[in-house]
Structure 1
């Protein structure tokens, strides 16, 4: 089976796996325990925290570890709301945000918060003017993802962040899809909180991190919480965090190498579709590892199933929504309607992907299209 669903999850990096085993067997104490074994675990935890502070270009006082992107998004939103200084119950987000963000905001809507959801412009990005038009006197929070997980476009986080500062609005960005693929240091200084998830950049599942501006005064979402400075309850996953830091170190140190690799693969893949390109819509991407596309007249579910039978693992969008068999949120946000919205497929590339792999996938898709149209 050839794997083309790296945006959903990556295999664990071998060096990160070795770090996990060593940490779990050597630094096994509870990092909150006051004895020497607990201190050793805490030292490893704080070393890892300092690493992520360096990756983000921020103070380590603002780095908190979580169980992953979904929890990180939820806690970031809830925590920022406890630190707001202006009055109001209006929040702005995007229509194509991750389900963990949209579900968190839906819960707030049920509690009588007012939520504005922005569509995507024709280029697949949040339009800055449309965002500014949505800002109101009672807007207190914005949550806009950095990278779209389905077509790989980057939203104008720095511009939106400047507007939020000028209007006294707190700003969260889901950076799960962009961390490990690009430098986030400028993004971290444009937001009040950002979220990442380990298994998106070859770290272990079940661990992630949040940057929360240390200048903010906030209250724990769960009263009485002491772990992670009150940000989240529960024993800290020190081995997972150490392994995540090792995976992040490799990803960040080789950003340019991996980016060039993906650009070559993307070009070769599109070239392999030459005979059916007139039937395809391939969306432009800022992240070359993400290829979002539609084949006119064929449902994405059919193409995905046929590709699977031929030994290729692709997807029809974000892993948190595919089981619902609903249209891609990105397609809906772009104004693609009806049957066309269900034509979407996503192909994402990884470090292990080779040129011959994408050529073979392209050949398989050409065969699927010819057999079904």
Structure 2
């Protein structure tokens, strides 16, 4: 089976796996314990926190370790809402946000907040003017993902952040898909909170990072929580955090090389469809506004789920969208956000490259898709 679903999850890096085993066996202490073994675990934990802060170029005191992107999104959103000085209850987000954000928004609606869900334009990008127009006197938070997980488009977070700061509005950013794929230090410096997830950059599942700017006087999500300075409950996964930090260091160090590799693979793939543009739609942006390893596409007249099953039958693992959305009857949220509905929306499927993806595999997959279009 050839794997083309790296946007859903990456295999664990071998070096990170070795570190995990060593940490789990040799440094097994609870970081909250007061004895020497616990203190050693705490020292390792703080070294990882310092390194993740360095990679993100953010303040160390605002870095918290979590179980992944979904928990980080939940906790960063609530942290900012607890820190706002305004009594407003209006939030702006994007229709195509990850389900972990959308589900939080639904919960907040039950708690009395009013949510504005913005669409994407035809290119799969949020118009900054739409954000500015949606801002009201009672707007307290804007939550926009950095990279769309289905077609890979990068959102104008810096510009949106500027508009938010002019109005004294907090901005939270889901950087799960973009960390380790593009430089995000400028984005991290521009937002009030962000989220990343270990398994998206070859770290272990069940690990993540939340950043909340420490200048904001947040309140604990659960009263009485002591772990991670009251940010989240539960024993800290020190071995997982060590492995994730190692994977993050490698991802950042290899970023430019891998981006070049993915761009080459993307161009190779796209070239196979140049003569079939009336039958195939591929969502693609130029000028570095796109994660090169994610390809969202439609083959006209073929349901995405059928394409996924046929690819699977022929030995290729692709997806019909984000893994947290797959299996639902609704069409891709990105297609819906772009105004594409009905049968066309259900034609969508996603291909994503990774470190193990070869040119030969890309060529064979492209050839298979061309066969399946008939």
Aligned partner of 2:213 in structure 1 is 213
Q: How does 1:113-262 map onto structure 2 within 5 Å?
A: 113-262=113-262
**Superposed CA offset, 1:15-57 (max 9, x none):** 0001101111111000010100001111110010011000111
Alpha-carbon distance between aligned partners in 2 of 1:126 and 1:185, rounded to the nearest angstrom: 21
Alignment CA distance shift 1:275-1:163 (3 Å): closer
Aligned partner of 2:362 in structure 1 is 358
**Superposed CA offset, 1:257-281 (max 9, x none):** 0000001101111223345443111
Superposition misfits of 4+ residues, deviation over 4 angstroms:
none
**TM-score, scaled relative to structure 1:** 0.98
Secondary structure at the counterpart of residue 34 of structure 2: coil
Matched, 1:92 2:102: no
Contact 1:84 1:140 in 2 (8 A): yes
Structure 1 vs Structure 2 CA RMSD: 0.8
Q: Quote how far apart the aligned CAs of 1:184 are.
A: 1.4
Q: Quote how far apart the aligned CAs of 1:121 are.
A: 1.2
Contact 1:65 1:209 in 2 (8 A): yes
Q: Quote how far apart the aligned CAs of 1:325 are.
A: 2.9
From 288, 299, 321, give the equivalent of 1:295.
299
Alpha-carbon distance between aligned partners in 1 of 2:143 and 2:251, rounded to the nearest angstrom: 25
- For structure 2, the residue ranges without an aligned partner over 5 or more in a row are none
From 327, 334, 351, give the equivalent of 1:330.
334
Alpha-carbon distance between aligned partners in 2 of 1:125 and 1:208, rounded to the nearest angstrom: 26
Secondary structure at the counterpart of residue 278 of structure 1: coil
Aligned partner of 1:307 in structure 2 is 311
Alpha-carbon distance between aligned partners in 1 of 2:323 and 2:330, rounded to the nearest angstrom: 12
**Superposed CA offset, 1:87-143 (max 9, x none):** 200000000000000000101111221000000012211100011000000000110
**Superposed CA offset, 1:134-188 (max 9, x none):** 0000000110000000011111111111111111111100000000101111111
**Superposed CA offset, 1:333-356 (max 9, x none):** 000011001000100000110000
Contact 1:55 1:184 in 2 (8 A): no
Q: How many residues align?
A: 370
Contact 2:79 2:212 in 1 (8 A): no
Secondary structure at the counterpart of residue 32 of structure 1: coil
Alpha-carbon distance between aligned partners in 1 of 2:209 and 2:243, rounded to the nearest angstrom: 13
Aligned partner of 1:21 in structure 2 is 21
Q: How does 1:57-72 map onto structure 2 within 5 Å?
A: 57-72=57-72
Contact 2:88 2:140 in 1 (8 A): yes
**TM-score, scaled relative to structure 2:** 0.98
Alpha-carbon distance between aligned partners in 2 of 1:260 and 1:51, rounded to the nearest angstrom: 25
